[in-house]
RNA sequence: GCGCCCGUAGCUCAGCUGGAUAGAGCAUCGGCCUUCUAAGCCGAGGGUCCCAGGUUCGAGUCCUGGCGGGCGUACCA
């Protein structure tokens, strides 16, 4: 690539002045009049070599003039170097895209190493809500980004099927069950008031009959617990499948107890000498590792807090061979980050383990007003309701298009709009338009563009500004994908795709057959037509691959 | 009180390791459909980048101190 050759040459020149660790940028300027590539190296070098930036820039311009593919270099502003590439060099991007095809955009940063992404991890006490939806989309797409970056990814869902909340769920089922049998049985304080528990109780009654009517025994509650958990987990799994999200493993909190992992973790922590008894509870000195206060491991009644199985679980991840782990969680859980890491550090794991990605909450607005539209869950909007309303693709995209750490307002009016105003449709339409061009070319017998091998089109003919800009944009796809993966930030890809779609539309429209027939894609001039169809195919590949990373369909016709 | 996150156009938000005139979509206003191509395109208006200092050739970006909002700060999960 030209960018690499140029940046090598720049680095070499800096080394010639005795600066081996020069930091600089070489990227595409916002303003096309600043060239195809621009660098600030003269500005960063100025203080190091004690010369004026413009002089350095002029010096560099003279040295780099001979590099192949560069048409000219300009020194601008305080000392920026602007590189204008030859059309051949720009057009070469298209051939690379057509060579790589459905692989285009990926990289090998991961080198085949294993990484776990844990996400959603909802309690099996109710249907998934919008926060889970955002998390499902984020976790899944981060996993996809990592796969495109050469990682072997394991998607995991941890579910808390032990503990107090589950006991309360069982008690709620019992209350609803009794109600169905005509008794006056209130849902206890801290119980689950959503309608869905009534459905579960009804199903349970249908299957098990009234045998537990007068028996609020341990066995009865245990039977109801099992039934409710299994039914809610099934529902969550269905909702996730409907959201195009699948897990490699569902990991049970209870299994940490039956495997004795929790027990072993207590022993291991005890052995560090960092535990102590206070007011009947067993504490860990997590403050040794930067936590704000020490944490209770075992309550005075002998039961474990959540902290303990969390540590046991993450020790387990490490022992299973996952030394790279990303936990996607709602930011309301940020309080647990320091304590879990502290517990793990006490056991000798490195300080940054595991990595956390915390995302902010979601609200839904219609007509500028916040809405909640769950009939079954009562207090919150479910993921399933949202998907039913706007569709999977739109829901996924909207959850992804903002930075995770920013609050997300889900604009239902925009989500339901099927025009280009809706960013999802904008990208899909651009893709479909490009497909139509290929189809039309095929109908006219102008084939050869779309075969498995890159055609020999003379892409240097693509010299119109809209074409140059689009080509440069397509060439940047791998860089954006890499950055999105490294930053765990799918929205970077959303922004990229929207901008690309915009440039596609501009290009498509500036070649309007009526007003600018000489810029139309399907011109009679064969070499030009081939070049433009090559551009169309390359752009289609980028949009398609980009949508694929987001887990969104790219139809050939809308 | 302490900790984490956020504060950019009327609204929702981008802005990469500090770079050139701060961007996009929505909304508003104006222009463009006899020829593959209007689910579209082109253009315009709209900003004390929360405030005040600081660092430097250069700050929306980094540092310090405020202000405002969200979340957390349990022997809850």
Nearest nucleotide to A283 by CA–C1' distance? B75
Measured CA A70 to C1' B73 distance, in angstroms:
58
Of the candidates A449, A456, A457, A499, the one whose C-alpha atom is nearest the C-alpha of residue A474 is: A499
Q: Quick check: A280 CB within 7 A of strand B?
A: yes
Q: Give me the pLDDT at residue A452, please.
A: 43
pLDDT, residue A313, reads 96
Cβ contacts of A398-403, under 8 Å, gap ≥ 24: A398/A424, A399/A133, A399/A134, A399/A136, A399/A137, A399/A138, A399/A362, A400/A137, A400/A138, A400/A141, A400/A490, A400/A491, A400/A493, A400/A494, A400/A550, A401/A491, A401/A494, A401/A495, A402/A491, A403/A489, A403/A491
Q: Is the CATH number 1.10.10.60 carried by domain A420-549?
A: no
Q: Is the CATH number 3.30.1360.70 carried by domain A2-85?
A: yes
Whether CB of A444 is under 7 Å from strand B: the answer is no
User: Which residue's C-alpha is at the least distance from the C1' of B27?
Assistant: A421
Domain boundaries, chain A: 2-85, 120-256+360-412, 420-549
Question: Quick one: pLDDT band at residue A342, thresholds 50, 70, 90?
Answer: very high
Tokens of A478: 């791998």
- In this structure, is the CB of residue A510 within 7 Å of any atom belonging to strand B? yes
How far is it, in rounded angstroms, from Cα A49 to Cα A312?
A: 54
Residues 315-374 in A having a C-beta less than 7 A from any atom of strand B are 331-336, 358, 360-361, 368
CA distance A476 to A28: 9
On strand B, nucleotides with any atom < 7 Å from a protein CB are 2-7, 11-17, 19-21, 23-27, 32-33, 35-37, 39-42, 56-58, 70-77
- A139 exposure class (CB count in 10 Å sphere: 0-12, 13-18, 19+): buried
- Region A241-267: mean pLDDT is 95
* A112 φψ region: left (φ > 0), alpha (ψ -120 to 50), beta (else): left
3-state secondary structure of A252: strand
Q: How far apart are CA A172 and CA A177, in angstroms?
A: 8
pTM of the model: 0.93
Of the listed ranges A76-90, A372-386, A524-538, the least confidently predicted one is: A372-386
How many whole angstroms separate alpha carbon A436 and alpha carbon A354? 47
Instruction: Compute the average pLDDT of residues A108-134.
Output: 94
A151: its two tokens: 């990682």
Residues 6 or more apart whose Cβ sits within 8 Å of residue A159 = A121, A122, A123, A124, A233, A250, A251, A252, A253
For the CA of A394 and the C1' of B36, the distance in angstroms is 30
Identify the pLDDT of residue A48.
Answer: 81
Is pLDDT at A484 greater than 90 in this prediction?
yes
Which ipTM was obtained for this model?
A: 0.92
Q: What residues does A364 pair with on adjacent strands?
A: A410
**How far apart, in whole angstroms, are the C-alpha atoms of residue A54 and residue A61?**
10
Q: Which CATH number fits domain A120-256+360-412: 3.40.50.620, 2.10.77.10, 1.10.8.60, 2.40.50.100?
A: 3.40.50.620
The alpha carbon torsion through A324, A349, A487, A138 (nearest 10 deg) reads 60
């Amino acid at each position: 690539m030209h960018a690499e050759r140029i940046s090598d040459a720049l680095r070499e020149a800096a080394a010639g002045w005795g600066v081996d660790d020069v930091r600089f940028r070489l990227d595409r300027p916002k303003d096309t009049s600043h060239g195809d590539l621009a660098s600030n190296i003269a500005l960063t070098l100025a203080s190091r070599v004690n010369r004026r930036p413009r002089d350095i820039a002029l010096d560099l311009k003279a040295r780099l003039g001979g590099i192949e593919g560069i048409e000219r270099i300009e020194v601008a502003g305080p000392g920026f170097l602007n590189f204008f590439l030859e059309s051949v060099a720009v057009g070469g991007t298209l051939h690379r895209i057509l060579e790589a095809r459905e692989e285009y955009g990926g990289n090998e940063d991961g080198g085949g190493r294993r990484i776990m992404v844990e996400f959603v991890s909802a309690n099996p006490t109710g249907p998934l809500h919008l926060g889970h939806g955002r998390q499902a989309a984020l976790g899944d797409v981060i996993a996809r980004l990592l796969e495109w970056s050469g990682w072997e990814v394991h998607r995991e869902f941890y579910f808390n099927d032990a503990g107090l909340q589950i006991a309360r769920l069982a008690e709620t089922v019992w209350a609803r069950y009794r109600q169905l049998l005509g008794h006056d049985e209130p849902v206890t304080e801290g119980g689950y008031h959503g309608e869905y528990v009534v459905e579960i109780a009804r199903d349970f009654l249908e299957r098990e009959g009234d045998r537990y009517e007068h028996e609020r025994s341990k066995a009865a509650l245990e039977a109801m617990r099992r039934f409710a958990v299994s039914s809610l987990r099934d529902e969550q799994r269905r909702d996730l499948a409907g959201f195009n999200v699948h897990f490699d493993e569902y990991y049970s909190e209870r299994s940490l107890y039956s495997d004795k992992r929790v027990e072993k973790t207590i022993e291991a922590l005890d052995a560090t000498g960092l535990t102590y008894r206070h007011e009947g509870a067993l504490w860990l000195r997590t403050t040794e590792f930067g936590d704000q206060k020490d944490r209770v491991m075992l309550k005075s009644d002998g039961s474990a807090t959540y902290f303990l199985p969390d540590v046991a679980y993450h020790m387990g991840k490490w022992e299973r061979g996952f030394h790279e782990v990303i936990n996607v969680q709602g930011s309301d859980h940020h309080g647990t980050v320091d304590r879990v890491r502290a517990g793990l550090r006490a056991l000798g794991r490195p300080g940054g383990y595991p990595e956390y990605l915390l995302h902010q909450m979601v609200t839904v607005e219609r007509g500028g007003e916040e809405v909640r539209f769950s009939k079954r869950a009562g207090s919150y909007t479910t993921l399933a309701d949202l998907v039913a309303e706007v569709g999977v693709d739109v829901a996924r995209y909207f959850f992804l298009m903002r930075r995770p750490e920013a609050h997300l307002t889900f604009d239902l009016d925009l989500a339901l709009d099927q025009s280009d105003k809706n960013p999802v449709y904008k990208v899909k339409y651009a893709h479909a338009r490009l497909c139509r061009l290929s189809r039309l070319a095929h109908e006219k017998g102008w084939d050869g563009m779309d075969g498995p091998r890159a055609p020999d089109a003379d892409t240097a003919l693509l010299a119109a500004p809209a074409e140059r800009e689009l080509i440069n944009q397509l060439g940047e796809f791998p860089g954006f994908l890499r950055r999105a993966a490294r930053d765990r930030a799918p929205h970077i890809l959303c922004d990229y795709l929207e901008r690309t779609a915009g440039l596609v539309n501009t290009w498509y429209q500036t070649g309007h057959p009526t007003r600018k027939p000489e810029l139309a894609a399907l011109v009679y001039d064969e070499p030009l037509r081939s070049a433009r169809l090559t551009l169309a195919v390359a752009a289609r590949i980028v949009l398609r691959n980009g949508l694929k990373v987001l887990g969104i369909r790219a139809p050939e016709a809308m």
